[in-house]
Every structure is written in structure tokens, then in C-alpha cells.
Structure 1
Amino acid sequence: MKKVGMAVIAGLAGSSVQAQNVELHEAFSGGTVYGDLRLRYEQVQQDNALKDAEGVTMRTRLGYRTLDYFGVSGLVEFEDSRNVLGFDDYNDTLGKNTNYSVIADPETTELDQAYLQYKVGQVTGRLGRQVITYDNHRFVGHVGWRQDRQTFDAARLTYTPLASVTVDYAYLSQRNRIFAESRDLPSKDHLVNARYQSPLGSITGYAYLLEVDKGADNALDTFGVRYVGQSDLESLAINYTAEYATQTSESGNNEFDADYYLFEVGISAVNLTILAGYEVLGSDNGQYGFSTPLATLHAQNGWADQFLATPSGGLEDLSFTVKAPLAGGNLTARYHEYSASDSSVNADDLGSEVDLAYQRPFAQHYSAGIKYARYMAGDAAAGKVDTDKLWVTLGAKF
């Protein structure tokens, strides 16, 4: 990755150089220090033999960003997650309290981001550990809901030849996942995302070619297209999204193919939004389910996190969402109905879920929220159980 990154920077340096705006010492002394703190209580109750989980964690994120110097800038950021107030009765995914339900927030202190960026004209190059997200985080996201968010060790190029066109390429050499450093994965991933903002809406084409660098043959190749549009009818705004992707998974002598579909229609009026969605993560004859390992999965198929891995029979998710302002904050209510996308599998009814959330900012730098998810299991053969999750959060940024 280092050789690739140096070639990127060298290539960019050969282009025209922006005018110097500050002295070198001013680029450092005039930089920005920032912080982000989040205190959270989480409770998990499941209808199985595991004990109910309960945890209070504090996530602290501190960073520093320089000013531009001849188009070059840098950022360094540290992140720490700790148990506080004595509430640590949960399975942290690293072998602690395995007789409890999972709360995926292990204690950790790590370098969250550290990169150099060079911008010249319509091209931006970035080398190092960084956050990368595309579109709605369905395929590539930062999993910001967890206390240890996901970042990537990457070399990235973004080209914007026109205001309406953006082409982005990233090579990932490591996936820094949400389970602390011990479970990060070396990789050889290529991400391409190209967007055109047309008069009729946004059109995005993408190719995500993923490979875990573990010394054995494996590949997960996804190609897709996404369309997002909006129509205004007097006091109403109608929003619509359509997306399709095809995927091939290869591991050893096994090869599977699956498709992905998404259709959403929303109506907004007087700050009230009502949204209906239908998402299908396809299956290859009940043997493999469409996979998105780099996604912000918590934001996709229900906050109870019952479908972080797609079942081998695939997943159909019919959802209805209502969003509305309330008492200076925002209220979200969502309902999911789940079923297998391959009707030949034994477990067709995968259950349903109700999600509720209220978030409110206050005193300029602070926010508070409460969030609840209730998953109701379907067919016993699906291996799911009734699950309730509750979160209470207090955040501060400076």
C-alpha cells in the first residue's frame, strides 16, 4: 500500500500546485483541535438461555486537523472506549462474559484516523487510516453507531471533473473493524464509486471488489447501480430510490451468485416524512445470502441487529418509516416485516420488528437520545429469538 500511496502523491505533485495561503508553521499552529464524547447505556434482553446484558460505555474521540499548505493537509485522531459506572455485564465479542447477550463495544484505545491529503484542482488524494462511506452505507460505511467505529487503511483518489460528476477510487489494505484491533482484517479491496447528478436525479454506478488477505483464495465482487430522485408537487415532495446489484462470492472451490434490489418511495410535507421500502438480499438456491461486510449494518435491516449476516436463504425486508419533529428534536418510528427471498428454504417467515428513536440537541454542543428496538421472531427454524434492545445516549462535541 505504501508504494501505491507514494505513487499517488508523486503523481499529484506533478500537477499544477495551488498558491501558498499560509506559512508552514501557521499550517500547524492554526490547525483545529476537536473532540467528540458519547456516554451510552445499553440493555439487551433475549428469549434464550443467555443472561440479559447491561452496559454503560464512554467513547472519547480527540483529533487535530492542520490547515492547507500548498494543497497538503493532515489529520490525526484517537479513539477510546471504556466501561464506566460499573455496568459491564455483557458479551463484548472478545471472550468477556460469554454467558450474556452481546453488546459489541469492547474496551479499546486506538488510532482512529491518521492521513495526509493533497488537493490540486479537481483531484484529491488521501493516504492513511481514514473514514470512507458511500451512498447510504449499505455497502461501505463507518458503523458509527458502535463506540469503536470502522475505518480503513487506504489510498484514495477523488476526481470531480464537473460539479455534477464525482469519481472515487480507494484501495484498502486493512479493515479496522468495530471489535478493537485484535479483530481487524488485512485486505486487498478495490472500491470504485462514480456519481452523476442529472437533472432527473442522482445516478451512481459502483464496483466493490473485496478480498481478505489471509493466504487463501477468496473474493467478493459486487457491481451495481443506484438512482435517487425527487419530484415536487406543490406542498409535497416525493422521494424515490431504486437500486440493483449483482454479486459473486468465491471461496476455495465454492462459487455463489446473488442479486440485490432496493425500492423506496417517500412523501414529505410540513416536516413530516412517510417512507415505504422494499429491500431484497438474494440467495443462491438457499446456499448463500447476498453479503455486505463493509456496511453500516445497524442502519439497514432493523436496529435489533438480527440480520448482520444475511441468512443463506436470503432476506426480504418490507419496511415503513415515519419521521417527524417533536419538542425541538426528531422522532423516528419504523416497522419491518422479514421473510426469506428463497421460498424453498424451511424458514420462510423471518419475523418482524418495531424501532423507535428520539434525538434532541441542546445547549449548542450537546445532544441526548433514546432508542428502542423490539424484534419478534418468526419460524423457529430460522434460529432467531424475541429480542429487545434499549439505548440512552448523551453526547458532546467541541
Structure 2
Amino acid sequence: MQLKKFYLLTLIGLGLAIIQSHAQVKVSAEVRPRTEFRNGFKTLTDDSKDPAFFTEQRSRLYIDYSQSNFSFKLAFQDIRIWGETPQIYKREPGNTFLSEGWGRYQFSDQWSVKVGRQILAYDNERFLGGLEWAQQGRRHDAMLIMYEDEASKTKFHLGLAYNQDDDVAEPAFLQADGANFYSVNGNYKTMQYGWFHKDWNNSKLSLLALNAGFQNMDSTVSNKQTFGIIGGTKAGAVQLAGDFYFQSGAQGANDVSAFLAGINATVSTRLTPLTLGIEYISGDGDLSDGKNTNFSPDFGTNHAFNGFMDYFFVGNANGAVGVNDIYLKTKWKIGKGSLQGHLHQFMTGSEQFDTNGQLLSKSMGTEIDLVYSLQLADAVSWNLGYSQMFASPTMEALRGGDRSHIQNWAWTMITFKPTLFSSK
């Protein structure tokens, strides 16, 4: 069945359900084109490379349905680069697919179960996030058992997932040799986690424990555990926030022992809020002793951390040398919009040497990020961004490229997100 026909049948079915029940239904949409100029984005460029210029668009249709004791959501999305599809074509290029498809059943006021393709986003999304900056986002096929009590301001989620692919056709899939081998690159084969959260008047605390099992080429499975403590409190005019994560277990043939620690303070001034923070992420890139000290925020919204130019933990061009990020963030109101500014000083998290064996400076570079935001209408927003990296000789030695070449990134994005229909 073509996906467009499926959209139509879904809407017709929901229409019939509305007539025959007291359900609440909301149909909304999103169109979000983003134009980017990349000239040193993610890693250093040089004179031999031309800048990249393109527009990528996300188009979504959201359908939310709820009754007294259950709800479900369907979200369809199309992701494409402008011009990649011919103006006249007969076959769908395959960029349209299901973004979310989940159902939630409420056993009581506190207990519920949620199953299907869904977003897993917690706290500041450092380790588990929806990655909504990326046009496609990040989704999980999982089951959640949830306890949420408003009176005590307490939440507990237990998540479970077990993944397989279709590389061996049915019916041989269940019994054939190698049928249990999971070949989807970069994804986990199995995952279990528990998340606890508690709110107080001026403070909050979350605890996370997650195990992810990754398929090895020899058909074994490596299990890596991540434990996190995330908290925040307000003391007068100062807001404090911090997180600490530790990783253990195994990754391939190596034992894992890595950590991330971050803390920041936000002070409100008469002109603008100021946030000063530091984050240390372990790593040295040396696996010769069978120890992996490279912390990885595997499923987080990593674009929101360590600079918007995505030099660290986004894609493959990141290096495994650890990161020490000292940053200052602020935001100004300009007319009807706002301008946020971020300043990052990046240093290695370990000692690094050049090709001659000389010790490199820990300083990797300084990044400046500027983003202007303006709400054009209730369902229309516009953003304009510019970032520049001032790389050090250490960055050039670790990444290649030419640090004397200008390293910058500019983008603009307009988002239309209207509600098409909402029942009472």
C-alpha cells in the first residue's frame, strides 16, 4: 500500500472514531526547511575543499488520539534535500516513513504502559534525547512501564527493547543459521533502562541506569552500562545544574571505564542571564591495553552540547581524545526576537602527541555561536545562526585541515507548525 493512501485511510478511520466516541483528536503538521552553508562544519577544512550549500526539509503529519484510559500517536515524516527528487517522477524515492507510532494504556492514575516507535528524552537530553535538531530525529522501538505520581512529584520509567532486522526472510528467520545476528550498524540489539525522577520546591534529581547490548562481528554481544545522576537547584538568584555519568561493561574486545562530569551556574542580571559552566568527558584514544576510556553519549541530543558546529560526538569526525569544554552562554532580547550567544573553549581530555612524539597543547580551539530567533506568528518561527571555530595547532594536528583557513557555518530555518484539527 502506498504511504499516501495509508495517510488517507488513517484520517478516515480517525474521523469515524470521533463520530462514534468521546475521544480527543488533534491533527497537526510541520514543515521545516533549513538552509546551511558549511565551511569547516564538524571538522577543519582547507583550500582544497569547496564549501557546501544546501537546503534540507522536514515535513511531518502528527495525529494524536486519546480517551479516558488510552492514547496513541502516529507521526509521518518526509526528509529530503531540495532538488534530489526529479520534478516529474512516478516512484516514491523512499524518504517518507513513520517517525512515531505508539500506544499508551493507563492502568490507573499512576501506572501505564507505552509501546511502539517513540522518542526517549529525559532531563537535559545529554544521554537520552529526541535529537530534534536533526531533521529525522532519533526514535526507539521500545516498551515503557511508567509510574508517575503528581502528588509526590515522583516518576519512574522502566524501558525495554530487543531489536532484529529482516536480513533472513521468513519463515526461515526463526530457525536459520545466523538469523539472530543483528546487522543494523550503530544501533543496539538489546536495551534496558530505569529512570527515576523527583521534584521538590526549588530542586530536582534524576537517576538513570541503562544497559545496551551491541552485536559483535563474531556473533557475540557486548553489554555496556551507563549510570547517571542529573540534578538542579535554585539558591536565590543563582540556578545550579549538574550531571555525572559513568560507563562500564564491554565494547567489542575492550573493557569500558569512562565518565562525564558537568556543572553550570546561571545568574540573572538586569540585562541578560549569564551561564558559566564546565564539562569534562574522558577519553584518550588508546585501546592497546584493552581499556576503553572514551565516554560516549550514545543516544543524546549531542548538537545541544559542546558547540553548535558539532565537532564532538556528532557523526564520525570527532576523535577519541576526551573533551574539556569551558563555556559561557547568554541571551539578549532584540526587538520582538532574541539573540543567544555561546562561547566555548575546548581542550583535550588527555595528553596527545604529534607525529614526532612531541606533547601537544591541551587547547583545541575556541568556538563562537550566535542564533537569532523570531516568532513570526503563532505557528511560524524563524531562526538565523552563525558559528565560527578558531582552531589551535592541536586541533589541526588531531583532525587535519588548515586552521588558518576560515572555519565557519551559517544557517537559516523557518518552521511552520499549525494545528489542523482539534476536537473537544
Task: Tell whether the structures are fold-level matches, with TM greater than 0.5.
Answer: yes
Aligned Cα RMSD in Å?
2.7
Alpha-carbon shift at residue 184 of structure 1 (Å): 7.0
Alpha-carbon shift at residue 87 of structure 1 (Å): 8.5
Pick the aligned partner of 2:113 from 106, 121, 125.
Answer: 125
Residues 392 and 284 from structure 1, CA distance in 2 versus in 1: closer, same or farther, beyond 3 angstroms?
closer
Residues 87 and 328 from structure 1, CA distance in 2 versus in 1: closer, same or farther, beyond 3 angstroms?
farther
CA contact (8 A) 2:154 2:199 kept: yes
- Uncovered stretches (5+) of structure 2, i.e. residues with no partner: 1-16, 86-92, 166-183, 288-292, 354-358, 419-424
User: Are 2:227 and 1:218 aligned?
Assistant: no
- Uncovered stretches (5+) of structure 1, i.e. residues with no partner: 1-21, 89-105, 177-181
Larger Rg: 2
Alpha-carbon shift at residue 372 of structure 1 (Å): 1.4
Alpha-carbon shift at residue 262 of structure 1 (Å): 0.6
Distance 1:72 1:173 in 2: 24
Distance 2:84 2:365 in 1: 31
Alpha-carbon shift at residue 117 of structure 1 (Å): 0.6
Matches within 5 A, 1:248-327: 248-270=248-270, 272-283=272-283, 286-287=286-287, 288-308=293-313, 311-327=319-335
Residues 284 and 199 from structure 1, CA distance in 2 versus in 1: closer, same or farther, beyond 3 angstroms?
farther
Query: Residue in 2 aligned with 1:171?
Result: 160
CA contact (8 A) 1:355 1:373 kept: yes
Q: TM-score, normalised by structure 1?
A: 0.80
Q: Hey, which of these two has a bigger chunk of strand by percent? A: 1
Query: Residue in 1 aligned with 2:8?
Result: none
Alpha-carbon shift at residue 376 of structure 1 (Å): 2.1
Distance 1:358 1:301 in 2: 19
**1:31 is paired with a residue of what secondary structure?**
strand
Pick the aligned partner of 2:210 from 196, 208, 211.
Answer: 208
Query: Residue in 1 aligned with 2:12?
Result: none
Matches within 5 A, 1:151-170: 151-161=139-149, 162-170=151-159
Distance 1:36 1:245 in 2: 34
Residues 184 and 383 from structure 1, CA distance in 2 versus in 1: closer, same or farther, beyond 3 angstroms?
closer
Pick the aligned partner of 1:114 from 80, 101, 107.
Answer: 101
Alpha-carbon shift at residue 312 of structure 1 (Å): 2.6
Query: Residue in 2 aligned with 1:62?
Result: 61
CA contact (8 A) 1:175 1:185 kept: no
Q: TM-score, normalised by structure 2?
A: 0.76
Which amino acid in structure 1 is aligned with residue 127 of structure 2?
F
Distance 2:277 2:250 in 1: 30
Distance 2:112 2:185 in 1: 30
Residues 213 and 116 from structure 1, CA distance in 2 versus in 1: closer, same or farther, beyond 3 angstroms?
farther
CA contact (8 A) 1:80 1:109 kept: yes
Residues 186 and 251 from structure 1, CA distance in 2 versus in 1: closer, same or farther, beyond 3 angstroms?
closer
Which amino acid in structure 2 is aligned with residue 81 of structure 1?
I
Query: Residue in 1 aligned with 2:345?
Result: 337
Alpha-carbon shift at residue 291 of structure 1 (Å): 0.6
Residues 79 and 199 from structure 1, CA distance in 2 versus in 1: closer, same or farther, beyond 3 angstroms?
same
Which amino acid in structure 1 is aligned with residue 105 of structure 2?
Y
Which amino acid in structure 2 is aligned with residue 305 of structure 1?
D
Residues 143 and 219 from structure 1, CA distance in 2 versus in 1: closer, same or farther, beyond 3 angstroms?
same
CA contact (8 A) 1:81 1:109 kept: yes
CA contact (8 A) 1:27 1:67 kept: no
Distance 2:123 2:232 in 1: 10
User: Are 2:412 and 1:392 aligned?
Assistant: yes
Distance 1:24 1:252 in 2: 55
Alpha-carbon shift at residue 367 of structure 1 (Å): 0.6
User: Are 2:21 and 1:26 aligned?
Assistant: yes
What number of residue pairs does the alignment pair up?
Answer: 349
Distance 2:271 2:29 in 1: 31
Larger RCO (CA under 8 A, 6+ residues apart): 2
The share of aligned pairs that are identical, in percent, is: 21
Pick the aligned partner of 1:351 from 345, 349, 365.
Answer: 365
Distance 1:271 1:108 in 2: 45
Distance 1:367 1:311 in 2: 35
User: Are 2:229 and 1:231 aligned?
Assistant: no
**2:66 is paired with a residue of what secondary structure?**
coil
Alpha-carbon shift at residue 211 of structure 1 (Å): 1.9
